[in-house]
Structure 1
């Protein structure tokens, strides 16, 4: 998995405006997770731990109809958005 970083997409927002977007760090965080660096992944992009279950539930709901999928998806989506916005604000404030 060492070569995974070679395939990461650059942030267009960062290239054009010199400022990170709300998605910056997601690919690197996923790479860190795949390498077993869980704390570093959280520090890179905290919402990774709500986005992965969100994507998993959405995927599983397509295959098996999960009883409370809509509620679970809504809660995880709202939580993800809150974490993304808060971490973006903190990143912009302290960097």
Structure 2
């Protein structure tokens, strides 16, 4: 089991830099769009640039779908692998006196 966790940790840390920027862009633009529309009083047209960034439209119609797919898969990978690493850490803590 240790070698599986070491492999998981290695892949988690290797993929993290590639997943970080697209996820940050998605989160910040999505939050900005919603908050500026609801609390800032901006119209849909005024906040449209944030939606373009959020959905990956800036990449063009073909790459937009790939961006969304990879962004979602990257998030799932980081959540699942990070969760597995966290559970293993908790198990070690509960076993230790």
Q: Could you tell me the TM-score, scaled by structure 1's length? A: 0.37
Higher helix share: 2
Q: Could you tell me the TM-score, scaled by structure 2's length? A: 0.36
Bigger relative contact order (CA 8 A; separation at least 6):
2
Q: Look at both structures and tell me which one has the larger radius of gyration over its CA atoms.
A: 2
